[in-house]
Amino acid sequence: MTTPPSSQNPAGTGTRGGAAPLLGRKAAKVDRLAELMGERGDDGHGAGVWREAFLRMRRSPMAISGAVIVTVFVLVALFSPLIAPYSPTAQTWGAEVFPNRNVFVGPRAENLLGLDNLGRDQFSRMVIGARQTLLVGVVATLVGFCVGALLGGSAGAAASLGGAWGRRFDNVVMRVIDMMLALPTLLLAVTVAALIGPSLTTVMIAVGVAQIPIFARLLRGAMISQGSRDYVLAAQALGVRKRRIALAHILPNSMGPVIVQSTLTLATAIIDAAALSYLGLGNPDPAFPEWGTMLADAQRFLSSAPSLAVYPALAIIVTALGFTLLGEAMREALDPKVRK
């Protein structure tokens, strides 16, 4: 699409307030006519859906605030050993804190966020905790994404291209998925965690497993709706191999909702992980502070030293909010109904 730079009236809605001499603007008008004629045929459908969505998101305050939060969080998590001024585990100031006598140390010059109940630097623990939290979120989401996408993708491909046999396969897989859906996610996670004992791995697997059915349903649904589109029919009519149709055509066009869900799942995973930690199924190793565990531990002191619980709680809320905002903005930007 070529747009002559001489065009003074690109939107075609007209320059009003015609004070300029009529004939002097003639050239511009003729240019405009030529441009209109030349433009016909390609109305700019070339830009991809993702590009379009990205451009829309750049203007959305929701997306921007989400992106800022997520970026800060990821940066802190990645560089936490450089940022944290002290060791998160050293009880350096242990002699200054007496939880049973309600003696706590709040923010001061050397300890930005004060000390925790064992005399450790709260700021360092928060910073190192970001890394653990990110790790839990990412791994849990990956578990849910990979297994869920595999199940949902194969079911969706089978249902849309596999004929009667494929529909049967889809039916069986979806029954299993429905059963998993019938178990409330946190209970599913609790059961998994109870089975394999408390550890960071437990939390990651438990939270991830709980997300599998959601990913599977989403991808299957998207693939089936794509499978009935005309371009799939056209590809089949041209004799393109089914595996190629599924992998090269249907799958890429179905990824939108799944990617949105991944972003939202990062938030859920962080919150669910906190819940599991609260239930005592999180990492018992104090060398790796994690926001959920910190929050669960600090709740005992909520009346005497509320900040100990409020810092990790705020961190969890803000981080989850960041991923949620980003995911929701993405969903909105990709939604054809919202696009106007």
Give the residues lining the site for other proteins (CB under 8 A). Answer: 9, 11-18, 22, 26, 29, 32-33, 36-37, 39-40, 175-176, 178-180, 182-187, 190-191, 193-197, 267, 271, 274-275, 278-281, 292, 295-296, 299, 302-303, 306, 309, 313, 316-317, 320-321, 324-325, 328, 337
Nearer to other proteins, 34 or 248 (CB): 34
Phi, psi of 237 (to 5 degrees): -65, -30
Q: Are 148 and 219 in contact (CB under 8 A)?
A: yes
Nearer to other proteins, 180 or 232 (CB): 180
Q: Are 269 and 137 in contact (CB under 8 A)?
A: yes
Closest approach, Cβ 226 to other proteins, in A, equals 22
Closest approach, Cβ 271 to other proteins, in A, equals 5
Nearer to other proteins, 11 or 238 (CB): 11
Nearer to other proteins, 246 or 308 (CB): 308
Query: Which tokens belong to 143?
Result: 């578990």
Nearer to other proteins, 83 or 183 (CB): 183
Q: Nearest CA to 212 among 255, 259, 137, 149?
A: 149
Nearer to other proteins, 102 or 247 (CB): 102
Q: Nearest CA to 267 among 231, 230, 315, 306?
A: 315
Closest approach, Cβ 81 to other proteins, in A, equals 26
SS3 state at 103: strand
Q: How far apart are CA 132 and CA 155, in angstroms?
A: 34
Q: How many helices (H) and strands (E) does the chain have?
A: 13, 0
Closest approach, Cβ 302 to other proteins, in A, equals 5
Q: How far apart are CA 128 and CA 290, in angstroms?
A: 8
Q: How far apart are CA 187 and CA 163, in angstroms?
A: 36
Phi, psi of 98 (to 5 degrees): -130, 90
Closest approach, Cβ 97 to other proteins, in A, equals 20
Nearer to other proteins, 45 or 175 (CB): 175
Closest approach, Cβ 151 to other proteins, in A, equals 14
Closest approach, Cβ 36 to other proteins, in A, equals 4
Q: Are 270 and 320 in contact (CB under 8 A)?
A: yes
